[in-house]
Amino acid sequence: MNQQTRQHAPPDQVSADQVQRAIHEGGRALVELAERVGRQVKNEGLTTNQIRNIYGLVKKMEMKGFSAHELMMLKPKMAYAAARASGRGAQILSKVLSHAIDAVGSDASKFPRFVDLFEAILAYHKAAGGK
């Protein structure tokens, strides 16, 4: 996304560049993004139950080892879950995590940051009162 596009994006939307930066840099960039997204998806009605299946798949992947193919296959699973969910929260989370999957690509060394981002979003979702 170029600079001009980013300037005109609505303030509640997360750009692919912001997610990519969080995956590449980690630390503050990752935590700030996760806090913003966690609060936003909670406010848009996302429940913990709606993301439990995807989170479970990510944790299984983390335990057995990185697979670029399995990671990429999370995208259609998230799209399906988002289409079934009420509210925009699941769609927002799906979009953010899809950008994160793209940022990881086939680089196994970036996968732990993807897991960190997902876990941090869930933590901030819960901290914001998500059920």
4 within domain boundaries = no
42 within domain boundaries = yes
78 within domain boundaries = yes
- Integer Cα distance of 15 and 19 in angstroms: 7
Q: Which domain holds residue 85?
A: 15-127
63-122 pLDDT, tens digit each:
999 999 999 999 999 999 999 988 899 999 999 999 999 999 999 999 999 999 999 999
Number of domains in the chain: 1
53-66 pLDDT, tens digit each:
889 999 999 999 99
61 within domain boundaries = yes
Q: What is the pLDDT of residue 86?
A: 83
Q: What is the pLDDT of residue 8?
A: 41
6 within domain boundaries = no
- Integer Cα distance of 104 and 88 in angstroms: 25
1-52 pLDDT, tens digit each:
444 444 444 556 889 999 999 999 999 999 999 999 999 999 999 998 888 8
3 within domain boundaries = no
26 within domain boundaries = yes
9 within domain boundaries = no
Token pair in block for residue 123: 């933590």
Contacting residues for 16 by C-beta, under 8 A, at least 6 apart: 1, 99, 102, 103
Q: What is the pLDDT of residue 5?
A: 41
